[in-house]
Each structure stands twice: as C-alpha cells, then as structure tokens.
Amino acid sequence: MERPNYLEKIKIRIQSSNKGSVFVPSDFFDIADALTVNMSLSRLSTSHLVRRVMRGVYEYPEYNDFLGEYIAPSPDKVAHALARNYGWTIVPCGDTALNLLGLSTQVPASWSYFCDGTYKKYKLAGFDIEFKHRTNRDISKTSPKTALVIHAIKALGKDHVDEKIISTLAKTLSKDEKSAMLLEAKYATAWIYEIIKEICKK
C-alpha cells in the first residue's frame, strides 16, 4: 500500500491559500499527526515556501515586486492564528480595533485583543501581540464584525463618536452585517447600542 505523502498535502493546502496567510500546526491535523505536521512545516520553512514567524507559527509570505522584498506578516492574522491554536475567541480592542476599521491611521506598536483564554503577550519583530482575558457577552455572543465595532466605539468613548465616524463605520458594513448587528448588539451598553442604530440607518 502506497504511503500517504503528507508533506505534499500540506504544501498543496498552503499554496491554495492567499499569500500572507498565517498557519499553526493544528490547521493541518486533519492531514497528519502533530509530529508529522511539525516536521513538514519545518521542511517547508527550510525550502522557503513558508516563513517562520515565531515558534509554531508560519506564514505563506507575499512578495512585493515594487519594493523588491517580502511584506511583513500581518499582526492581526498572526493573532488569529494563535487564537486558533489555543481554541480562543478573540476580539480586537483599543487602538487595534480603530486601526482595523480605518478609524485610525496610526499602526499600533502593540496589537491588543480581548480573549476568553488566559493573558499572554508575544514580542515579535516589529510588533507585540497582547491577549487580555475577558469573559463577557461582547466576545462570546456576537459575530466578529459586531464585536469589533462595539470595541471600537468603546475605545473612542461616548463623546467622541461624531457623524463622520458613524458614516465611516456604516461604509464598512454590508446590509447583512447591519441586520445582524442590530440584533446582536441589543445587550451592549445602552449608549453604544444607540450609536449602532445610527450606523445601521446609513
């Protein structure tokens, strides 16, 4: 009986993904066991198909022809890969939420997330990732987009959400996302829900 080529299967899955995608070993446990997956990722890193971001985290790097170099890994994609590895639900918070929604052009030095796991902080080349433990309804009972908007509004504060911000947020949401948000955000703080209703009217 022919032995399965696990390395080739993992390679095909990576190559079928978008450039810039970030992986952890558990993304491939349906293909092979942990030892085989780790060895395969290490070999693919040596052959430069993937780039090792940190221990147990790999990226399918994207090359920028204009700059003549590989683009740095996305901190948000790394954060979500780590969350998958731990089985956590995470929500961007503070300046991270504002940046991801286009409400701030300042790139955070530390990318922060609320999570339903334990506190952890990682220092990587060029940025930090911080997970802050939080067990609340904003994390577990809303879709990722609703939770992102809620935490961005919280980061801004009640007195700093103006018409321009409401319009900007409205443009980032599809009709379906707005419908879901009106239902999911009902249990958020009252002033936040009033702002979300204004966003969803746009």
**Per-residue confidence of the chain (202 residues) as pLDDT tens digits?**
445 799 999 999 999 999 999 999 999 999 999 999 999 999 999 999 999 999 999 999 998 888 888 999 999 999 999 999 999 999 999 999 999 999 988 888 899 999 988 999 999 988 999 999 986 665 767 888 999 999 999 999 999 999 999 999 999 999 999 999 999 988 888 999 999 999 999 8
Number of domains, the chain = 2
Same domain as 94, residue 183: yes
Q: Is residue 115 part of a domain?
A: yes
State which of 23, 55, 70 marks the end of a domain: 70
SS (H, E, C) the chain: CCCCCHHHHHHHHHHCCCCCCEECHHHHCCCCCHHHHHHHHHHHHHCCCCEEEECCEEECCCEECCCCEECCCCHHHHHHHHHHHHCCCEEECHHHHHHHCCCCCCCCCEEEEEECCCCEEEEECCEEEEEEECCCHHHHCCCHHHHHHHHHHHHHCHHHCCHHHHHHHHHCCCHHHHHHHHHHHHHCCHHHHHHHHHHHHC
Q: Is residue 169 part of a domain?
A: yes
Same domain as 46, residue 84: no
Give the CATH number for residue 28.
Answer: 1.10.10
Q: Is residue 181 part of a domain?
A: yes
Same domain as 118, residue 196: yes
Rounded to two decimals, the pTM is: 0.88
State which of 70, 87, 118 marks the end of a domain: 70
Range of the domain at 58: 6-70
Same domain as 125, residue 31: no
Q: Is residue 1 part of a domain?
A: no
Q: Is residue 154 part of a domain?
A: yes
